[in-house]
Chains A and B, each alone.
Chain A
Amino acid sequence: MTATSPARTHGGTTDTTPHTGPPAAPGPEHTGSPATRVLGLAALAAVALLVLYGLVVSPPDREMADAVRLMYVHVPAATLLYTGCFFTTLASAMWLWKRTPGWDALAETGAEVALVFAVVTLVTGSLWGRPTWGTYWTWDARLTSTAVLTALLVGYLALRRLDLDPDARSVRAAVLGLLLVPNVVVVNRSVEWWRSLHQGSTLVRLDPQIEGDMLVALMIGFLAGGLVFAWLMVHRFRVAWLAQQADRIDLDAALAARRAEAAAPAERPAPAGRPAGEGVSPA
């Protein structure tokens, strides 16, 4: 389910370009590393195990029959969604404190990965709801909170994509990210309270009698989900890191070009608006 880079045969030499021979080459042209390969393989293995346990070994539930199999994906996805948000808020706080770019990259990573799991949560929750409750959307507390949380994440990522001076963007994103977890907590509490007035009984909770193979399947779901989450976080973090470096390189190149222009005005037409004051030919 998750794709890892084509297998390389060996680890690296001591310099930073282990996968291509001569040190002068640009180096590995991907975000992989021995660690992520191991992680990726472990994730794939766990997912395979989940498929086995979730779809085959574990029994159908007494009340919801086979729809419970969606819970093995839905519940871990919801948990990982919150985990991603936690990373974003924590990284935002750390960035505001330390101002190092790694924290900024982590904040962005957490939010984007969280969004993926949010969509998974909504889709699986809704598909679970259909056979169980009769409708695709039930306005129960968890689904509703997740929907609001998805909106929060979309907003955060929209802010991050703005074409702004990177420092200004990071400050705004950090303040917004810092508020993410508090917002989630407030929203969850309010929605739960609200829905509890209408649905005296269950919210989307697990059958409390979950046990035996069903419990095992759920645990494997958490394990597989967690490994996939970790793999995605590492790769996405590296992408964010590379993007920062690429921006910096572009900026340096643009500055260098400006300086070159300023240093050799005789070769070029005068800058816009300036009459021939430096011995250049009239524009």
Chain B
Amino acid sequence: MWRDATLVAGRDLRVELRSRVTANQVAPFALLVLVLFAFALDPDGPVLERATPGLYWITVLFAAVLAIARSAAIDEADGVRDALRLSALHPSGVFVGKALAVAAELVALELLLGLGVVVLYGAEPAGVGLLAATCACATVAVASTGTLYGALVSGLRVRETLLPLLLLPVLAPVLIAATRAFEAALVGVVADGWPWCGLLAAFAVLYSVAGALAYGTLLEGS
């Protein structure tokens, strides 16, 4: 299964490298959202600073929806789905591979956005260990959940509108937990943030397992 996963992850990432959609469109969009938040909230007062963790993670989520839609679209091209079914690839491997590819893109986005909030919002990195752990767990959580839900809406004409509607409520706990963890790291007591990181890890495990199990059914049935 891991071999299959690596194969699929490699394919997805190669597609991204060749088309550069995440780099050329999703990343700028994410930075744009950060800028828009500054327009909407007063950049001179304390609001932006206080809200930084939340704004950061909302931006990550919006960008993730786009990245996941792209990931799902790769398999919607003519015949790809049938090819996947007929190939000897293990469905769980396909799932893990796609999730890994999305996760890689998300990590890049998170680093970029981290730079963004440091520069644009004047955030001061602190509690970096907690920040890194939170990002790692949240990334796996978002990537695995997103890959599963991406498969749920794949091939549908209404994919663009249905995916956020399905995915974002499910990811609400991730938003809550990641924001609290970041708050603890940046402005609060670091020790307070670790339990939230734990919640993220649990969420990540839950959806990784669920996705691995359900992907086969979805590939077959749709």
A and B touch in the complex (CB under 8 A): yes
Interface residues of A (CB under 8 A from B): 96, 148, 151-152, 154-155, 158-159, 162, 164, 167-168, 170-172, 175-176, 178-179, 182-183, 186-187, 189-191, 193-194, 197
Which are the 10 A-B pairs with shortest beta-carbon distances? A171-B221, A190-B173, A151-B169, A155-B166, A168-B222, A155-B165, A190-B176, A175-B214, A152-B169, A194-B176
Interchain CB contact (< 8 A) of A148 among B169, B180, B220: B169
Interface residues on B, range: 20 to 34
Contact A190 B172 (CB under 8 A): yes
**Cα distance A187–B218 in the bound complex, in angstroms:** 24
Nearest chain A CB to B210 CB, angstrom units: 7
Interchain CB contact (< 8 A) of B217 among A171, A182, A187: A171
**Cα distance A152–B218 in the bound complex, in angstroms:** 19
Contact B206 A190 (CB under 8 A): no
- How many residue-residue contacts, CB under 8 A, span A and B? 69
A159-B153, A183-B169, A190-B177 are known; give 18 further A-B pairs, CB within 8 A.
A148-B169, A151-B165, A151-B168, A152-B170, A155-B165, A158-B162, A159-B166, A168-B221, A168-B222, A172-B218, A175-B217, A176-B152, A179-B210, A186-B206, A187-B172, A189-B173, A190-B199, A191-B172
Answer whether residue B203 sits at the interface, using C-beta atoms and an 8 A cutoff: yes
Answer whether residue B158 sits at the interface, using C-beta atoms and an 8 A cutoff: yes
Answer whether residue B156 sits at the interface, using C-beta atoms and an 8 A cutoff: yes
- With both beta carbons as reference points, the residue of chain A lying nearest to B167 in the complex is identified as A155
**Interface hits, B145-170 → A, CB 8 Å:** 148, 152-153, 156, 158, 162, 165-166, 168-170
**Cα distance A35–B177 in the bound complex, in angstroms:** 48
**Interface hits, B206-220 → A, CB 8 Å:** 206, 210, 214, 217-218, 220
**Cα distance A186–B203 in the bound complex, in angstroms:** 8
Contact A175 B165 (CB under 8 A): no
A residues within 8 A CB of B162? Answer: 155, 158-159
**Cα distance A176–B156 in the bound complex, in angstroms:** 15
Contact A187 B173 (CB under 8 A): yes
A-B residue pairs in contact (CB < 8 Å), sample of 26: A96-B217, A148-B172, A152-B169, A155-B165, A158-B165, A159-B153, A159-B166, A171-B217, A171-B218, A175-B148, A175-B214, A175-B217, A176-B152, A178-B214, A179-B170, A179-B210, A182-B210, A183-B170, A186-B173, A187-B173, A190-B172, A190-B176, A190-B177, A191-B173, A194-B176, A197-B180
